[in-house]
Structure 1
Amino acid sequence: MAFSTQAARVAARLVRRPLYNRIRTTFTNAIRPATVSTQLTFQRRSYTSPATLKNNTLETRNTVVQLLSNIGSKREVEQYLSHFTSVQSQQFAVIKVGGAIITEKLPALASALAFLNHVGLYPVVVHGAGPQLNKMLEAAGVEPEYEGGIRITNAKTLAVARQCFLDENLKLVEALEGLGVRARPIHSGVFTADYLDKDKYKFVGKIANVDKRPIEAAISAGCLPILTSLAETPSGQTLNVNADIAAGELARSLQPLKIVYLSEKGGLFNGETNEKISSINLDEEYEELSKQWWFRYGTRLKVNEIKDLLEDLPRTSSVAIIATEDLQRELFTDTGAGTLIRRGNKLTAKSSISEFEDIPKLTAALQKDQAFASTDSPQAAVEQFLQKLESSSFKAYADEPMDALAIVHPPAREGEPAFLSKFVVTKHGWLSNVADNVFSTIKREFPKLAWIANTSDEYLTWFFDKADGSVMQGQNVIFWYGFDGGLEEAAAWLKSQRLNTAKQPVEPVVSSPVTGVKQQVRGFSSLTRPRILGRGYHPRQQTRGYATESEAPLPGNTNPNPPLRRSTSSEFRPKKVALVGARGYTGQALISLINKHPYLSLSHVSSRELAGTRLQGYDKADIHYSNLNVEEIQKMQENGEVDAWIMALPNGVCRPFVDAIVAGGGAKEPGSSIIVDLSADYRFDDTWTYGLPELIKRETIAQATRISNPGCYATAAQLAIAPMIDNIDGPPTVFGVSGYSGAGTKPSPKNDVNNLKDNLVAYSLTDHIHEREISRQLGVDVGFMPHVAVWFQGIHHTVNIPLKKQMTSREIRNLFQDRYAGEKLVKVVGEAPSVKKISGKHGVEIGAFAVHSSGKRVVVCATIDNLLKGAATQCLQNMNLSLGYDEFEGIPLD
């Protein structure tokens, strides 16, 4: 089937889209005031009248639309712009900006907001300042106090907080004005609040009223309103309010089309597949979503907070959780960039005309189809179509307002595809993504589908995104997915259906219309489709301390008495962690990590040697070491005082403590408190889950209550050998060298610096417990020879692996890269990694891949920090999974 000239132009146009980053760079250069050489420049705006500002906006709007068209189609850009400008300016969007975004992403944030302003849009920005406040309080010598995750804000703290908010507000305003965008700082007058609990929290507010007038005045003057989350009582007393709560109450007052939470993660993630959730249709998906094993704690809180907010807004409103740099792509393209959450409408499926309760509504929806609309009598054409439809087998999918209607004919014979004969979507259906939801429903029910679209269809790019392949025939494109035989199978099917009427052979169309890569599909979130958990990419949100009224990640506020319509369920309080055996290096590393974790708090820290002394390096609460015995531990468990127990004790010591926890009712079944044991006591016990997330199914760890943390040597060795398992011919040997922190704090020749100076100490050269651990987990015999060197922390492994067949270094390196693709804590490098580079880091580096001249033996090197990924970091990964949090929450990544 040959291309027609017009079709060829369509295909060519569809694949000539520049990369998003290139256009962002172009725009950033275009609006930078100092830039004079770039072809597209924007005049710096002077402080003149609103009319002059309006003219400036009109002058640049067309240019910016052209630039935006490079991140999507011009149709998408114009459609969304029209949608956003259809309401009053203050109702376009409320954007919540965390303090960390201002610190780390200020240029990108200012550029993104300038982008919106240059096309005549006025987002209302409200920001926090959590990390900055923490630093200022530390510098001022103010000891933080928390109650239930909320900072107790006394007069001195409030004074520092007020100055901090003013400083950060000014930074953002100045950055915007440096790009020629007028911005108005609004520090007061918008939020009126009552005391949350004056006796308990001091100057922390609960918003009671929102005054829109300062915002409306700023926009009328041509300025972006930039708000702090400070509030005042009716008498004028300043109060501290959480920025997420302020943004929510602002949205309830303004009723915007969009509420945007800028996030380091760039969205929410499926806890089973680690994939970013493109969208959540609450009416259609929430019930099933709430049944998922991973939908707990932080994720449940975020979604429930948003669900609560959207129920107070028009059904046209939606919430987007996105990265700063993806703001334009989220707002102006169908595919989006982050996670879009909306109420949506439930979908229905019908298999006969009589099942439709409102035939006139069905007829009206079908009349919008191009095939009927172009006839002399669309109504008569639709009626004739419905008569024929009644005598055939079909399934019709639609939402309640019928913004999207699809009619699918099941396959006549097994192995053939279903056929999508009608797909009619209103403008609102595209803008609210109902089309994606309907199509995703079809895809779940019909694994093989074909359909036809005209080359003039303005949504042709959307169909390309949904298809596995396509062919051009005259003015039509025939799409399909699920054809295992690809083009050959499609051609045979087309011939059998008499759809391929042309005599020419079928020729494929380039399957990606925009970038040459399949685009993200914004349909159902795939939350309810179980998949075996693999090694998916799982971005993390930057860890930040609690600020103001708990500036936890959106909208993870842990306030037990939050203002207005907030959930008060104890399920969302910070999880209480007891650390037994905290004196050692690993215990100290865990204390540091938990101190920065937004959803965990230490309740007990036990150490026989340090009992009675104050815990250092932890500022969420004033904690002193205790010396817990088994009776006390059992009683604590019976009283529900602890959600997670960490055993950081020497080998052979922790069994009585574990027995006490179990006797107290913990670690028995999913949902009860959990135990993570860092010793070797349970690594050979099949009733415990071995917690190495990169090699063990994360679903298994997430559903476990008793988790045995792997050894440091064993973690690095397994990761260095696992990708080669199918190619091994004989036992691998591991030559391991550790820093002396691995020998613990109890004095011995292995941690005596004088003994280690100019020396290398070998020990337990056969039958080491890690040798048995590695061999048991990998299912192959492994030889392990440990040594201690004079550096403090970090391990180096040199691993010799005999091969079944000749292999090249490149082939082996590819195996490792494929095996660990997307793993945030495993880095595959070319050269042999060094201990110096891994010390203090939370991951593993694997490299060298030196192949013997025979091609039958490879040497792989691996490095790991024995205190972090070898112990504390891995413990936190396992706890996060088991408690239902993001696996990497609280883990600082490079």
Structure 2
Amino acid sequence: MLVQLQQAAKSSALKGLMKRQILKGSAYLRPTVLSRRQQSNLAVGQSQPFVPTPKYIQQDRDAIVRILSSVGSRREVEQYLRYFTSFEAQRFAIIKVGGAILTDELDTLAQSLAFLNHVGLYPIVVHGAGPQLNKILASRGIEAQYSDGIRITDAETLAVARKVFLEENAKLVEALERLGTRARPIIGGVFQAEYLDKEKYNYVGKIVNVNKAPIEHSIRAGTLPILTSMAETASGQTLNVNADITAGELARVLKPLKVVYLNEKGGLIHGVTKKKISSIYLDREYNDLMKEPWVKYGTKLKIREIKELLDTLPRTSSVAIISTKDLQKELFTESGAGTMICRGFKINHADSLDSLPSKALEDLILHHNALPSTYASVEDFKKSFANAKLRVYSDSYNESIAVVDLSNPELPVLAAFGAYDRNWLNNVVDSLLSTLRTDFPSLLWRLHPSTKNLEWFFAKSEGTLFANNLYYFWYGAKDLNTISNFIKSDQPFASACLSSNLAEANPKTTTNSATPPNPPNTAQKRSFSTFSRWNSNKMIRPFVSNVAKRFYSVEAQQIHKPLKAVSSKPSKIVLLGARGHTGKNLISLINTHPHFELSHVSSRELKGTKLPGYSKKEIHYVNLSVDDVKKLEEEGEVDAWVMALPNGVCKPYVDALTSANGKSVIVDLSADYRFENNWNYGLPELNDRVALRNSKRISNPGCYATGSQVGLAPILSFIGGQPSIFGVSGYSGAGTKPSPKNDLNVLTNNLIPYSLTDHIHEREISHHLNQPVAFVPHVASWFQGITLTLNVPLNKSITSRELRNLYQERYADEPLINVQGDVPLVKDISFKNHVSVGGFGVHSGGKRAVIVVTIDNLLKGAATQALQNLNLACGYDEYAGIQLD
């Protein structure tokens, strides 16, 4: 597994990008993370293996996620990352490392830990040193003594053990720091112990108290805590404690999501089959497992100790026994790599919804149901199936549910499938579906395109179809006419779901709450997953969404009409992340704004230097911590926060502002909150300006996404298939960090395609237009500006003139959207605040249109749009401080 990661890193543009940073003397390489020996070697010109710095890799988290995705799907990696990072840092994982690992696999271990840290995770490492201790004792002619599997530790053995533990701890810390990962040795002060049995074992301890403060201090300082398994008595006497026991006692206090034991075998081996055991669910397997004749001695003791540990931890916790090289695969994929042990669950079934507690039923049907519905209450749900024959499945904790409608015995239909978020990650939903597959040879279900775990359903189905504004999935179906007839008859249900979703997207409270992500690229795997096959057979004509009609209604005209000022009170702005191109452009716009002024500009690299290009007052860059941000919010010193930070970095700051219960506005320029229902998506020309005016949480759209949505919105009701978008950006879109995508030596006489599938903007465009699209980005040798060529299949014939008229009517009152007859050019959009739309080519058959859109990626694609959103949320004229071209 690790070899794959290393090869991916070696072969990817990421390594070349980082290497150029070093050769150019980039500030991203901080000498403080290198050992003195490394600095000395670099100074005299000795060759050193390239190592990335934590800061750099954290800013390139998306690239690291792509590397990690080599162990599984990107969905799995991102889903587990979100899950792990949703808890306190110290609750991620405790990793117990045996002494043999430190001797034989030190580099592999350090690389695995470094990768985890580079994506923002802080594993807590507890290590032993048994083999090393035995080796030194043997060299001195001392034979190791054990009783009941516990090392007898006399004074001489203890003295050697202390020295060995310190040396092994230092070896791991230094190995991590050579990789640019900050680590902190913690060799005491955590475990307080009493003598286990002084007469029998001498200096061996029994842990009676765990002080987690040193660990928390380490994580807050951004360093990995590396602990030995030594303990002290209340009077300060050092005692030896088994590393497995130490890790278990620490887990009882911290209650981590994962407890990981690294061993050479990579898991528990079945005594009969001699194969690795993939998983053990203790609640249903423990008693039978312990009766197996091959489960004895150390194996029996280990399983018993793990059960006793897990019985004291939350049910979300699990123990993994794995090899060092498979650490990432175990943590970030559903299949795992070693042996996963958890308390587990049982799947129950009944023939009535009354079998579940009413509270659980309400949560799962109304709040955690993956399937579309129109039910306002559980009573509505029950009433709609009053005369139906049902089969109801649930786990033993009533945290997951599946309801199957058996009204049509030829085609059972999944009526509800609900699960708490954690159950998507601990195999509960997999077990639920496995049970359904056992009981039902065929099954059909429908999902809205915005479903959170849509890719999981794609992977579990044998066929899919998008129709009636829904995805229809099935497995085991023999007669496709049965599915066809069902989908044709299902339009009233689908229309009701759509109406329900639109009603939820009340313009006074939120926007586009029911919008789809880009569907996964599964056509190669599915027999019936595309429009074309169904349409060519004339079996089903896909239902065209009526969402587009909102653009032409009287109400919509009021919602989308530009809003004038309702306030003239000055506002103080804090900009977090001012080093990049977008930050600089936003500073320039605020400098000429009649009502905004900057109060703080935060940049870790530029801390202490004067802010250039701002003349309202003298400002120096600061490095605001999460605590600083919270304090400013609590003191009411800030009116609006602009997050110009890399993807995946904003959450701690947003959480701090939320916990402070302040009244300030947040505009996030990253992609972190563009898919959150409780955030307003800030594309004023297409979304609800009234909602933006009343919003405190605004996600600023991406540059490609803004241009693409402006180019597609007026013809949504005409789209008859999946539009494809060919986008080309200037190299400013690649940011300020050197890479092949902003290296003129690479770009000259060249065009570089990248992120050929699943680009974040592909998902964003699809999500907010409620229309799946295919998007392929490229980067070219000019500095700023984007051109987008939109190739759109149509469901009805239209002329070029009619097409242009649609756009002119739609954007007649939008000063930042320019509709023109000819093809817009990049050179005419650079340094301009508007979007240009033109070309309007229509194929001779009348069923395919081509529209060209240009946009400045740094202005209307980022900074100008952010200023629009700030103006609206702070009560000013929408275009205050914006030059109308």
TM-score using structure 1 length: 0.47
| Structure 2 length-normalised TM | 0.48
